[in-house]
Structure formats: structure tokens, C-alpha cells
Amino acid sequence: MTTVKPWSDLLGASERLDVAPAFDELREQPLCRVQLPYGEPAWLVTRYEDAKVVLGDPRFSRAAGAGRDEPRTRLHMGSPGNLLRLDPPEHSRLRRLVAKAFTARRVEQLRPRAQQVADHLVDRMLAAGPPTDLVEDFALPLPITVICELLGVPVEDRHDFRVWSDAFLSTTRFTPEEVAEHTGRMRDYMAGLIAERRKAPQDDLLSALVEARDQHDRLSEEELLTMAEGILVAGHETTASQIPNFVYVLLTHPQALAALRADPDLIPQAVEELMRYVPLGNGAGSARYALEDVELGGVTVRAGEPVVVALQSANRDGSVYTDPATLDLERKEASHIGFGHGPHHCLGAQLARMELQVALGTLLHRLPDLRFAASEEGTVWKTGVATRAPARMPIAWDQ
Amino acid sequence: MTWLIEVDGRTCIGSGICAGTAPGHFTLVDGTSRPTRREADPADEAVDAAESCPVEAISIRDKETGEILAPQQ
């Protein structure tokens, strides 16, 4: 077996939204062995086609990670009963309970409300005048408001659950004790909301899940709690990260920005290209365990061995994308795997797409000459969490 | 009972959810899902796939009556 190298030795430290140049070489070679910050060593997949096999082929299992010290970038492994820790058909039983709330059709019905929230946030920014922090004043409150209303969580509690959510995604920001404390608080909070819905159901997803549990016994109490937490955390954190990430990329690619301003109809495809281009995950995704020996990427992955996928590399695979490191809003090639692939393809993908379209459309339309407040250097990047995004991004515009 | 399974290739976004959930019933060809067989015996995993599709591109109907069995509206 080949040598195991730590992720940081293989790829170095990535600044801002840079994708490590070492991926270009790794994609040319057979799979290599990697030691992620936590858990056992794994095979590292960097090519697009191999990534789709690992993520989509039932010979690779998430559930088989139970009881193993899973290779991972984040400290927290995810609660048992989390969708991401199950395989079909158990996974399907739970996912079906919530999938309907996130279909393209249902998400379109939420678009006017998302637009209203975005407009309201921009109204406040215009009233206060530049500069403003895009993260705090727009990128966070937009997806948080939408997911809170959908799920049935009071949006005014956001300052609490934001800290708890960060703990789920912590790589090094929190100690193990802090992670346990924050994730415990999230659980208590969600248990409290569930108890309220039991007494007085509302027209929201949380009430629907409580009904699925109490009247139809379709999930356990633990699964109900885990699902609600997962939707709240994943339902805002990623989109809140991608809004400033996308704006950052556009402000540092003036031609693309000008094209988008000139033709707002380009926004949906721009969102797809930005999903491909932006390396949201700061490391590799959740490990899959081979259920049998599988020939993959020039090696034999033995039954029982874990494999991790670097989506940011797969999305820059030169055998799939021409000039993969170039942002090309008119790209017509294969769909990106920024939302993953296979049974665990992002549950909220359609919601994220809609929110990102609304966010970019609103910012570009309503803030003339949107720009960095001082310079690109004013953007402060998050550290110690699994998603890459600005912690603060001061922006300005012509008032 | 025989089921008719269809995928609307223009709606499909190639998420791979169906092929990973019901590998005997769906396969990806050039990034788009297709049913492996148009007609199939009833199978829970095929319904799971149809109910999990984020763009509702899959339909399962009763061959005799034409009744839509999945996805639920």
C-alpha cells in the first residue's frame, strides 16, 4: 500500500477561494492515500468520473462508517440517524419525509418570499448607506429567514443557533468540549420546539415531521431531532457562505460581473458555473466505505476501506471542463457536482439555487457599482470551520 | 401488476439520487437518468427514487389503469 500523507502535505494551505494546484497533478495519478485531520487514513478521489462512482454507486456505503473512526475534516461526526450516515433504503425512508418540501416546484413557490426578504435587507442597507458587511447584513439573514419560515423556527433566535451551527462545522475553531456543549444546546433547543409543535401544530415542516412521527411512526424521536437540526444547520450555513463567495468571485472577475449586469437572464447559469468554480468545502466530504473490492482510479479499493472525495478537484477536472480554472458563465459542459451526487445529493440544492439567484439578482440590480468597500483585502476569511467563506466582507456602492 | 417507469430527460438534472437509490431501475447515460426497463414489477426502491427526485422527473404508473403511483402530488 502506498504511503499515507497528511492532507496539508499533499495540498498545502489554501487561501481565500484558491483551489490547490496540487490537485492538477493528483488527477493525473492513481488514487493516493490521505490522512485527513481526523479519523483513519483513506483513499483520496480527485477526478470527476471517479467522484461520481464513489458518491453514486451502492458499492460505496456511508452506513458502513458506523463504529469506525471516519476520515473527516470536521471534528463532529454527525448524529446517528443523520441522513448523511445512512444508505438506501433506510436513507430513503427518512429522505422521502422531507424531499417534497425541497422539490423545484415547491421551492419556486418560496421565490416571491425570498425576493421580499432580499429586497427588505437591501432597503435597510440603502437606508444606512455604504459601507456595509455583506455577510451580516445580507448573506446570513436571507437564507436563515427562508429556512426558519419553512421549518418553523423563530428567526429571532438566530444569534443563538448560529453559534451552535458553527460547532457542527468546526474543524479547529472549537475544542471537543465546546463542540459537545454547543451541539447539546442545539438539541435541547430543537427538542423544545418539537414539544411546542406537539401541543400546537403549525403549517410548517417541523409540524409535518412531528405528525409523521406521532401519527404514522415513520421515524424515531432521535431521527426527528437529528433531521430538524440538520435542516436548520445545512439549510442556511452553506447558502450564507456561497452568497459572499459568489460576490467575491464576481468582484474579482470584472468581465463576468459586467456580463451579468448587462444580461440578468444569465444569472441562473452563472449560479451553476459559480457552484462549480467555488471550492466551498475546505477539505474532503464524508467518507464512503467500499462494500466489496472495487477497481477505481488505477487502484483496487479493498472491501472495508474508506474513500473520500475532493469535490473542489472534481469540479476542476480538465478531462471534463475546458480551461477548468477559468470562470466561464456561458459554459455548456457537464453539470458540476458542487451539490454532491447520488443518494446524498444536497437535499436543499433547489432551494440554494433559488436563493443564490435571488441574492445575486437583487444585489446587482439594486446596488449600482457594487464593489469592495476599500479593497479585496478588507475581506476577512473564516478559519477553523469546514466551509470556506468570508467572515466579514465590507462592500460599498454608489448611493 | 406491472409498472411503467419513465424519466423526463429534459427535466432531469442528473443528481444521481435515483441511480444510487434504485440501481436496478435507473441508470445515468451521459449524465441523465434513464429507466433500465420501461416496464417493471412493483418495487419499493423505485418509489423511493421517484419520491426523492428533486425535480420530480420520474413517474411511475400502473400499466393497466394509467394511474400515477409516484410521485405523490
Average pLDDT of span A359-385? 94
pLDDT digits (tens, 9 = 90+) for A5-39: 999 999 988 889 999 999 999 999 999 999 999 99
Q: Could you tell me the maximum CA-CA distance found in chain B, to the nearest angstrom?
A: 32
Cα A130 to its chain centre, rounded Å, is 29
State the DSSP string of A318-332. Answer: TTTSSSTTS--TT--
> Of A73, A373, A83, which is closest to residue A233 (Cα–Cα)?
A83
Q: Are the beta carbons of A345 and B51 separated by less than 8 Å?
A: no
- Of the residues A292, A345, A347, A350, the best mutation for testing chain B's interface (the one with the most B CB atoms within 10 Å of its CB) is A345
Give me the total of CB pairs closer than 8 Å, taking one residue from chain A and one from chain B. Answer: 75
| Coil vs helix vs strand at A162 | helix
- Of the residues A57, A87, A96, the best mutation for testing chain B's interface (the one with the most B CB atoms within 10 Å of its CB) is A96
State the DSSP string of A112-139. Answer: HHHHHHHHHHHHHHHHH-S-EEHIIIII
The answer, yes or no, to whether residue A1 has pLDDT greater than 80, is: no
Domain holding B39, by residue range, is 3-66
Tell me what pLDDT residue A384 has.
Answer: 84
> Of B36, B47, B41, B45, which is closest to residue B3 (Cα–Cα)?
B41
Q: How far apart are CA A207 and CA A210, in angstroms?
A: 5
Give me the CATH number covering residue B46. Answer: 3.30.70.20
Residue B71 lies in a domain: no
Q: Which residues of A314-345 are buried (b: 16+ CB within 10 A; e: fewer)?
A: bbbbeebbeebeebbbebeebbbbbbbbbbbb
pLDDT digits (tens, 9 = 90+) for A237-264: 999 999 999 999 999 999 999 999 999 9
The domains of chain A are located at: 4-396
User: Residue A43 carries which DSSP code?
Assistant: E
Closest chain B residue to A103 measured between Cα atoms? B54
Residue B34 lies in a domain: yes
Tell me what pLDDT residue A334 has.
Answer: 83
Q: Return the percentage of chain A with pLDDT > 90, whole number.
A: 85
The answer, yes or no, to whether residue A167 has pLDDT greater than 90, is: no
Q: Which of A56, A103, A335 sits opposite B20 (nearest CB)?
A: A56
Q: How far apart are CA A51 and CA A73, in angstroms?
A: 17
Across all residues in chain B, what is the average pLDDT?
96
The answer, yes or no, to whether residue A65 has pLDDT greater than 80, is: yes
Q: Are the beta carbons of B16 and A52 separated by less than 8 Å?
A: yes
Residue B60 lies in a domain: yes
* Residue of higher predicted confidence among A333 and A81: A333
Total domains present in chain B: 1
Q: Which of B14, B52, B56 sits opposite A95 (nearest CB)?
A: B52
- Of the residues B17, B28, B51, B55, the best mutation for testing chain A's interface (the one with the most A CB atoms within 10 Å of its CB) is B17
Helix (H) or strand (E) holding A93: helix A90-99
For domain A4-396, the CATH superfamily is: Cytochrome P450 (1.10.630.10)
> Of A216, A258, A212, A221, which is closest to residue A370 (Cα–Cα)?
A258
Calculate how close chain B gets to A335, using CA atoms only, in Å: 8
Q: How confident is the model at residue A287 (pLDDT cuts 50, 70, 90)?
A: very high
The answer, yes or no, to whether residue A161 has pLDDT greater than 70, is: yes
